[in-house]
Amino acid sequence: MGAAVFAQIPTVTIADIQTVSGAKLAACNDSANYFGDTVTVYGIVVTPGGLANSASGRQIWIQDGSGPWNGLNVRYSGSGATSPDDMLDLEQGDSVRFTGVIGSFTNETQLDPLPNGVELLDNAKDVYRSTVNVSELNDNMRTNVLTTGEQWEGVYVTLKNVTVTSVDFFSGNTRVSFNVADANGNTINVSDRFNSQRIANGFTPPTVNSVYDSISGVLSHSANGCLGGGRGYELFPFTTDDLHLQAGTSGPLISGINRSPLTPTSSQDVTVRANIEDPDGTISSAELFYAIGIGNTSYNSVPMSNTSGTTYEGTIPNTAITDGDFVKYYIKATDNTNISATNPDVPGGSFPPIFFFVRDNGLQIYDVQFTPYSNGNSGYINLDVTLTGIVTASPEASNLGTVFIQQSNTSQPWTGLQLVPGAAALTGLVIGDSVEVNGTIQEDFGLTRMQVNMLTKKGTASFVVTPTEVNPDDFTTPDFMVTEAYESMLVTLKKPGGGELHVVDANADAPNNFGEYRLGTDEFEPLIGCRVLAGRNTGTAPGSLNFSYVNDMMWATNSGMMNVPVCVVADGDKLASMTGIMYYGFSQMKLLPRTNADMEMFRGANCAVGVGIEDDLKAAELVVYPNPAMNTFTLQYSFDEQRRAQVRVLDIMGRQMADAVISGEFGKITFDTQNWGQGTYFVQVQTAGNVLATQKVVIVK
C-alpha cells in the first residue's frame, strides 16, 4: 500500500473521534466527531480478527493506551483486503494504522476501513483494561447513562462483584446472553458477540444468582432511553479468561424448555419438559408454575419429576384450561445448597413468562403475533406451526416482491404475518390466494415472521382483505401499546375525520438517505408521521419496485431497477390516502406500499398536475429486440404525441453503458453491444424528468 494513496486524509486519534462534551451528552447527543469523514487513526488491537460472529469475523476493537475515550469499534464491511492487511490476520497487541470512514450503528461509533486501509506496523504491544462500575454505564432498568458511560464505549473494561440476574436462551436454545447487576441493581447485558461465549463452542451459561468476581470485555453501545430502544451499554467478553465465577454461587441451570402439544385443545393435558442441572451440586426440587389469563398473577404450582438424566417434566391439566385461554408458565428449580433459579425469570425479572393459546379449531395468525409483553416477541419463537391466511402482498413481478398474509377479512389487530422462503418457493403466489403454510416462527430484529417449510394453495379467497384505516401520526415512533398490533397488516394511512395527508419530510434520515419519507396530517410538523419505504429493495429494505412515489431519483436504478415511472416526492406534496403493509425494521415502523393503486389522489411538485405518471406509461409502447441480443439490440418506441425523451442503458450495477435522445411520436434506435460483457442490462426511458419505463435486455456472447 502506497502512503501517497491516503496522503490528503487527516490523521486523528481515537480520542479525537470519540470524545463528546458533557453538555452534548446531557442533551442526549452522543454523536461522534468526524462522522461521515475519511480519517487515518492508529491503535492497538484488543480483539483478534476472526473472533466476532459478524462480518465474517472482520470486526475488531482497538485502543490507544488506557482510560476513557480510547476505544473504537472497527468493522470492515467491504471486500478485497488481502493478507497481511486482512483483518482476519490481526492479533491482540498488533499496532495498526487504519484508514476508513467514521460511521455509527445503534449509536456505537465505528470505523469502516477502506480497501487496503489496514496496515500492520508492529506487534506484541500492551493491551490495557480499565475497571469501571456498572452504575457508570446503565441504571437499574438497563438504560444507558450517557454522561458517565459514553467515555467507555469501545474500551476493554472490567466489572467486579456482579450477580447474574437473568439468563436468556434464544435461537432455539443454541445461544445465550445474560444480565448482571451490581449491589444496587444497576444492570448490563453480557452478549455472545464473540465465539468464546457460544454454547456450540463449549461455553457453559451461568445460572441466575451466580456471582462473578470479575467479568471483562469490550464495551458496546446499543442505544436506549432518550436515544432509542436498544439494550443500553453491553459487554462483549472475548476469551475464557474474561469471566471469573465465584466458587459456590452457581444455582440450577434450566434450559431446553418445550411443551407438548404446542397448541393444545381444551381436552388435552400439556406436558412441559426442561433440562435442569446444577454445575456445582445437585437438584433438590423442580416446579412448574402456570396461570390462566393475561393479567392473572396468581400462579398454580405442580411438581416436576426427573424422568431421565437431566430431563424433568410437569403437567398443566386439561381441567384447568378452556378454548381460547391465554396460558403462561415458568419453571423454578432449587439445588442442594438452597439456591433457586427460574426460567424465565418470573416473577420480578426482565423476561416475561412463556405463553400459548388453547385452540379447539387450530392455531391462528393472531396467536403467533399477539403478545401482551413490551418486548414484542411471539410466544411461538423457533417453533414449527401451521397457519392459514390470505395473501395481501405477493412476489409477483408487478407487486411488492415480499410475501405477507393476513388471517381474514377483518380489522382485528395482530392478524398479519410476513412469509420468507424456506424449502418451498413462494414465487407462484398472487394477491387473494388462500394458503396453508407450515414453518418456523422467527423474530428478525423485532419483526415476527415465518420461515416457510411447506405451502399449500387452497384456492382464491371469496373476499378481498380490507385494509385497516390508521392515523399516520400514531406511527411516528414505535409505541408497543399503539403500533405493535399492526405489524405486517394491510393498512391505509388516512387523516381521521377526513382531509389531506402531506409529505412532511421527503427524507426522514437526512443527511443519509435510506429511501424513506414521512407522511403526516400536519404539513408543518416534519417529525410527526409515518415513514414510507419505496423504491429501495434490498435484503433489509423490502421497498416495492412497482410504486412510483420515491424520495430520490436514484432509486430508479439503485438497490433494484424500478418497473414503473418514477415521481420524486417533495415536502408539501398532498394526497388523500396511502395503503400498504405496515412493516418493522431498524427500530422503526414504516409503510410498504405495493403498487401505484395504493396511492390515492396524489398532487406533487414533481409530477405534472392533472396528468398521472401512469397515464404516460399507458400511452407509450416500448419494445426491445432481439432479446436476448448478441452484438446489437434495438429500442422501438411509440408515444401518444410528439415527445422528447432520454434513453440510458445501464448494467446490473447501475453503471451507464450508453445514452441517447429520442424524439417524435414513434421511431427506433439501435445500440452497439460488441464490446459489452455477457449479462443483464437495463434500458431506461426518461421524459420530463421522470423515469417512464425500464426494459430488461440480456446480452449473450
| Residue among 526, 525, 564, 569 at smallest CA distance from 547 | 564
pLDDT in tens, 425-463: 788 899 999 999 999 999 888 899 999 999 999 988 877
Amino acid at 291: A
Q: How far apart are CA 670 and CA 676, in angstroms?
A: 14
Q: What pLDDT does 451 receive?
A: 95
Q: How far apart are CA 531 and CA 592, in angstroms?
A: 9
Q: What pLDDT does 641 receive?
A: 77
Q: How far apart are CA 356 and CA 379, in angstroms?
A: 6
Total residues found in the chain within this entry: 701
What is the bridge-based pairing of β-strands 403-406 and 416-420?
antiparallel
Classified by CATH at the fold level, domain 619-699 comes out as Immunoglobulin-like (2.60.40)
pLDDT in tens, 517-552: 999 999 999 999 999 999 999 988 999 999 999 999
For residues 521 and 566, the answer to whether their CB atoms sit within 8 Å is: no
Q: What pLDDT does 256 receive?
A: 87
Q: How far apart are CA 333 and CA 252, in angstroms?
A: 6
Q: What CATH class does 365-371+381-460 carry?
A: mainly beta
Q: How far apart are CA 331 and CA 338, in angstroms?
A: 16
| Residue among 48, 51, 50 at smallest CA distance from 62 | 48
Q: What pLDDT does 82 receive?
A: 46
| Residue among 523, 506, 478 at smallest CA distance from 228 | 478
Q: What is the DSSP letter of 554?
A: G
| Residue among 630, 523, 619, 519 at smallest CA distance from 578 | 519
User: Going by C-beta distance under 8 Å and a sequence separation of 6 or more, which residues neighbour residue 662?
Assistant: 635, 637, 644, 645, 646, 647, 669, 685
Q: Where in the chain is the domain with CATH 2.40.50.140?
A: 3-122, 130-245, 365-371+381-460
Amino acid at 275: N
- Coil, strand, or helix at residue 201? helix
Q: How far is CA 205 from CA 173, 216, 335, in A?
A: 11, 16, 16
Q: Which CATH number fits domain 130-245: 2.40.50.100, 2.10.70.10, 3.40.50.300, 2.40.50.140?
A: 2.40.50.140
- Coil, strand, or helix at residue 648? strand
Give me the CATH code for the 253-357 domain, please: 2.60.40.10
Cα–Cα–Cα angle for 655, 553, 505, rounded to 5 degrees: 145
Q: Where in the chain is the domain with CATH 2.60.40.2550?
A: 619-699
Low-confidence spans in the chain with pLDDT less than 50: 1-4, 55, 80-84, 609-611
Q: What pLDDT does 423 receive?
A: 61
Task: Using CB atoms within 10 Å of the CB of residue 154, give its burial: 0 to 12 exposed, 13 to 18 middle, 19+ buried.
Answer: buried
Find the distance separating the first CA and the last CA of the chain, reported in whole Å: 37
For residues 197 and 84, the answer to whether their CB atoms sit within 8 Å is: no
For residues 530 and 493, the answer to whether their CB atoms sit within 8 Å is: yes
C-alpha cell at 369: 403475533
For residues 152 and 159, the answer to whether their CB atoms sit within 8 Å is: no
- Coil, strand, or helix at residue 675? coil
Placement of cell 488481502 in the chain: 82
Q: What pLDDT does 84 receive?
A: 43
Q: Where in the chain is the domain with CATH 2.60.40.10?
A: 253-357
User: Under CATH, domain 3-122 is a member of which superfamily?
Assistant: Nucleic acid-binding proteins (2.40.50.140)
Q: What pLDDT does 7 receive?
A: 60
